[in-house]
Structure 1
Amino acid sequence: MLILSRKSNESLLIESANGTIEIVVTEITPGQVRLGIQAPKSCHILRKELAQTMQHNRQAASKISSADLRSAISQLKNQD
């Protein structure tokens, strides 16, 4: 892991196959650093905790049987 020190309004550049990604430190407060990220639209940027949640949701969804899914859909239709 590369560790860099940056002050407010300083940035770093990451060169990728999709283009250049610039990360700017926009604000520093106790307990929080606010970052601005400029990247090509083809580059997907997610907070790590969101990516982990999405992965957990995919894993949970893959364990649902077809019968359980049909039952849930039927219950939702009956609520109307």
Structure 2
Amino acid sequence: MLVLTRRKHQSIMIGDDIEITIAAVEGDQVKLGINAPKHVEIHRKEVYLAIEEANREAVSDVARVDLKRIMGQLGGSE
């Protein structure tokens, strides 16, 4: 992990097109401004993890439905 020290209104760059700026520091909170291309999804980590879990569950549900459908087709063709 890279750890950098920045002050209010200072930025860091990620690659050529993502800029993260320190917008404010209030107590133990830091507000970040993120400038990135529209195709780059930006989420808080807890939201990102929830999306990943929902996607895993959806894939699992689809796999179960497909397996039941396939098994039904195999059973019906005998």
TM-score, length of structure 2 as denominator length: 0.69
Number of residues of Structure 1 aligned to a counterpart in Structure 2: 64
Q: What's the offset of the Cα at 1:37?
A: 0.5
- Cα separation, 2, equivalents of 1:41 and 1:63: 30
What is the percentage of aligned positions where both structures have the same residue? 35
TM-score, length of structure 1 as denominator length: 0.68
RMSD, matched Cα: 1.8
Report which of the two has the higher share of helix. 2
Mark the structure with the bigger radius of gyration. 2
Report which of the two has the higher share of strand. 1
Runs of 5+ in structure 1 lacking a partner? 67-80
| 1:39 aligns to 2:36 (yes or no) | yes
- SS of aligned partner of 2:9: coil
Runs of 5+ in structure 2 lacking a partner? 66-78
Q: What's the offset of the Cα at 1:11?
A: 0.5
